[in-house]
Amino acid sequence: MQLFLGNDGSPCHDFAFGKSCTAGMKTAKKLQRLGLLLVLSLLCSQSRADLVYDNSSNDLNTRFNAGTNEVGDEIVLTTTNSSRYVTNFIFEYYGVNFSGNEQARLRFYRNDGTNSTSGQPVPNTVIYDSGYFPVGPTDRSTLNFTRENSRMNVLVPDSFTWSVQFAGIESGEESGVGADIYSPPTVGQNYSDYWDFSASGWQLRTNNAVPVSFGARVHASPRPLLDIERSGNNVIVSWPGPSILQSSINVAGVYVDVSGATSPYTNNPPLSVQRYFRLRN
C-alpha cells in the first residue's frame, strides 16, 4: 500500500452527494398488492435520519491506495445525538485505468476481536455486508448506500469499523484504486491509524505523513425501521436490533406482540385481511 497526493486536476473536490450511487446494487423489492393492504404503522419520527458522522469537508488532497486488501477505518459517532440505526452511508473512492470488471465491497464491524498484536480490539463481528458490486472508473466519486438500494438499515455501536475491499483489479491497476483522505471530521471523531487485513489477520497501521481517515458520511435513525418485501404470496418483514414486532388489523390498534417473531419474519395472511405492523422496545 502507499499514500500519494491526488493531483489529478479534477474540479470536483467535494462530495457530490446524491449524484453517484452504487451501480448494479440489488434494489429492495417494493411491496405490491396481494389482494390485501399491508401497512407499516410508523410514526414520522421513526423515519427521521440524523447526521451522526461527517468526514467530508476537510479534504487533504491525499489518496490512499488500497489495492485489493481489505482496509478499515474505525469511526466514533457523535455523542450529541443518540441515533444509531444507520439508514444512509456514503464514502468516496477513486478508480483509474479500470478495464471494466472491477468490484467493491462494504462491511461494518464491531471491534470486539482479541487477537491484536497492538493490543487494540480488532474488527471481528460483521454487522453489515453489502457483498461485491460493480464499480466504474472515476477520478473521484461517491458510493451512496441507502435502505432502497442496499438495505442499509443496521444498528451500530457508538464506535465501529467500516471497511472497503476492491476486487477484479488486474495487473497495472493496483496503484489506481482506493479511498480519499479527509481530516478532521466535522461531526464525530476518527483515529489517525487504519486497519489492514492480510493473511496474518487484522493489523493496525499508521502513516507519519497524514492521518488515515477515509472520507465518509453517516446518517442514522433514532429508532429501528421496518423493511418489507414480497416473496410469492408471503410478506417478509425485517428490522434491525432487538425490538419486538407487533401487528393489528386496525391502524389505530389494539396492537399485540407477534408470538415468536424474529427478523426476518414471514407473514402469509388471508388475502381479505389488512394487516398493520409496528415495533416496540
Q: How many Å apart are CA 237 and CA 273, to the nearest integer?
A: 17
Provide the residue ranges of all domains of the chain, joining segments of one domain with +. Answer: 2-28+48-221, 227-280
Question: For position 226, what pLDDT does the model report?
Answer: 86
CATH number of this structure's domain 2-28+48-221: 2.60.120
Q: What is the dihedral of CA 162, 214, 13, 9, to 10 degrees?
A: -120
Q: What is the DSSP string of 13-58?
A: -S--TTT---TTPPPPPPP--SSS-EEE---GGGG--EEEEEE-S-
Q: What is the dihedral of CA 136, 103, 16, 62, to 10 degrees?
A: -100
**pTM recorded for the entire structure:** 0.79
Q: How many Å apart are CA 111 and CA 259, to the nearest integer?
A: 33
Q: How many Å apart are CA 60 and CA 111, to the nearest integer?
A: 27
Q: How many Å apart are CA 273 and CA 3, to the nearest integer?
A: 60
Q: What is the pLDDT along the chain (281 residues), one digit of tens a residue?
A: 334 333 232 223 233 333 333 333 333 334 333 333 344 433 333 457 899 999 999 999 999 998 889 999 999 999 999 999 999 999 999 998 888 889 999 999 999 998 777 778 999 999 999 999 999 999 999 999 998 888 899 999 999 999 999 999 887 777 789 999 999 999 999 999 999 998 888 999 998 889 999 999 999 999 888 888 888 878 888 888 788 899 888 888 889 999 988 988 988 766 556 778 888 87
Question: For position 279, what pLDDT does the model report?
Answer: 87
Joined grid coordinates for residue 227: 423493511
Which residues are registered as beta bridge partners of 91? 143, 216
